[in-house]
Amino acid sequence: MHQARQNRTNRDARAILSDPLVNKGTAFTEEERDSLGLHGLLPSHVSTIAGQIDRRIAVLRAFSTPFEKYAFLRDLQDTNETLFYALMAQYRSELLPLVYTPTVGEACVRFSEIYRRPRGLFLSYPLKGRLRQILADLPFDDVEVICATDGERILGLGDQGAGGMGIPIGKLSLYTDCAGIDPARTLPVLIDTGTDNEAHLDNPLYVGWRHRRVRGADYDAFIEEFVEAVRERWPGAMLQWEDFAGPNAVTLLDRYRDRLPSFNDDIQGTAATALAAVLSAERLAGIDLAEHKVLLFGAGAAGCGILALLVGELEKRGLSRDAARRCIHAVDRDGLIIEGINVAIPGQALVARPSAEADEWLSCGRAPRLLETIERVRPAVLIGTSGQFGAFDEPVVRAMANHNERPIILPLSNPVTRSEAAAADIQAWSDGRAIIGTGSPSNGAHGAVTQVNNVYIFPGIGLGVLVSGATRITDDMFAEAAKALASLQPEGSGDAMFPPSEQLAAVADCVALAVCRVAERDLGAIPPLDGWENAIAKRRWVPAYRDALPSAQS
């Protein structure tokens, strides 16, 4: 009898040490070790979380490559989440490029190499018809934020199949680090409908469903089953669509945004971050956006989202829709987008040059390309969402500098291997006059170069939705989030458009407040008696160890 009880205690102790949400490692106190049966399973030393942080950062810095550091951090997250987030909070600027862009791109490509422990849900197409039961059987009762991808368009790297799971894991890590969302209430999801990536299909280590991508009606039905299962299991949970291919991204957003609180970060989060950068850069350059031209290069789903918010911002400044549209031009793979000539997706029609101007624009027998358009339009702002490495070459940058004292140039594509230009090159070719924002951290540049990353927007969106109880995530929430971020432009920091990453928690609070106010104004959300600000502060999860004894005695 005693032996059976001892065996059960040992199993419980090992389960505690294997649960990343409750494991404290060497920080378990002597009393906790006595009560939980942990003696002998841990070294003698009782550490503080500060001591553990010192130990982990020393080990991390001993690795030579970002990918090795990423793998180390993922292992720490899977063994001790409190310590992982405490480390993130203390060394955010150092760890952010490892946990997310740019390193997460390589991590997705090599996901199968380092897969070790279960995290989140892998819902593969052969499970169709069983998703409700699978979700019902899960032990996750309090999920509030879900990030889901099908892995087809990971950053600028294309189809990574099951490897795309690295993106939801990374995004939700930032929800916790920046917005204080309890990690126990987050859920990454990989909707595995196959892959068309030959390298993964031929790789014996690949962990996903080894099958060509399911498309059409079968794909739609599987997504529908997933959404309905989520609504039934976690009513009111917020769903973030992430890294779906362009047509699916737009379709899924339109189809489900009214059925559950959901948004697409590649479309709406990117648009809000880009708008915030433009608003900040506008002040730095001393110009009025309504009196200048904006040129977007790469009018896919993300680019069209930016176009929509820009037009909306100009309309709010008093311009008619037609006047706002005249301020913005877009160039895609077939040149300047012209109505009736080369509009490929519905979102492009918003800023397509009118068909009445077609003859003027087609005078050389085709739509003008990027450099030709710059010379004719003379934009003050150039935004890149094309994924075409090096598209903003020296002639393009010099043309922007020739027409503007302070050209605003934003090569936003990720990862670095897909960026339209390096910040250092833009600085050199513009004689140091350009105001620059990049999608990935800038290397080799001098002075203030802003990383225009969605991490400045989406954590605060999620926090605001949860605090306000919003049942719908509206476009105006993103517009107001962008203005809130732009209002935080650092004083005395040169050309920096956003606060430094060390202040991302404060940024998330500011964005969340803007979301709550839109929810109150447009959706009837009722503010708490002590105000939205206090409600946001109270909502934050803090990475600190809790006393393990009460749960053990209950």
| Residues recognised as catalytic | 100, 171
Beta strand ranges found along 207-351 (DSSP E): 238-241, 262-264, 294-297, 328-332, 335-336
Q: Please give the full DSSP string across 494-546, using - where no structure is assigned.
A: TT--S--GGGHHHHHHHHHHHHHHHHHHHH-PPPPTTHHHHHHHHH-----PP
For residue 337 the two structure tokens come to 């987008």
b (16+ CB within 10 A) / e for 191-225: bbbbbebeebeeeeebbbbebebbeeeebeebbeb
Q: Which residue matches tokens 């309090």?
A: 142
Q: Please give the full DSSP string across 470-493, using - where no structure is assigned.
A: -SS--HHHHHHHHHHHHTTPPTT-
Q: Which of helix, strand or coil describes residue 37?
A: coil
Q: Are 380 and 285 in contact (CB under 8 A)?
A: yes
Closest CA to 449 of 406, 407, 496: 496
DSSP state of 212: P
Angle 497-503-509 from CA coordinates, rounded to 5°:
100
Q: Which residue matches tokens 């008093």?
A: 318
Q: How many helices (H) and strands (E) does the chain have?
A: 25, 12
CA distances from 367 to 347, 376, 379 (A): 18, 12, 17
Strand order in the sheet with 145-149: 121-124, 186-192, 145-149, 238-241, 262-264
Q: Are 180 and 461 in contact (CB under 8 A)?
A: no
Q: Are 229 and 123 in contact (CB under 8 A)?
A: no
As a whole number of angstroms, the distance between CA 81 and CA 312 comes to 41
Q: Which of helix, strand or coil describes residue 64?
A: coil
Q: Which residue matches tokens 């031929």?
A: 202
CB neighbour class for 524 (10 Å; exposed up to 12, middle 13-18, buried from 19): exposed
DSSP state of 438: E
DSSP state of 188: E
3-state secondary structure 349-409: HHCCECHHHHHHHCCCCCCCCHHHHHHHHCCCEEEECCCCCCCCCHHHHHHHHHHCCCCEE
Closest CA to 545 of 92, 86, 187, 174: 86
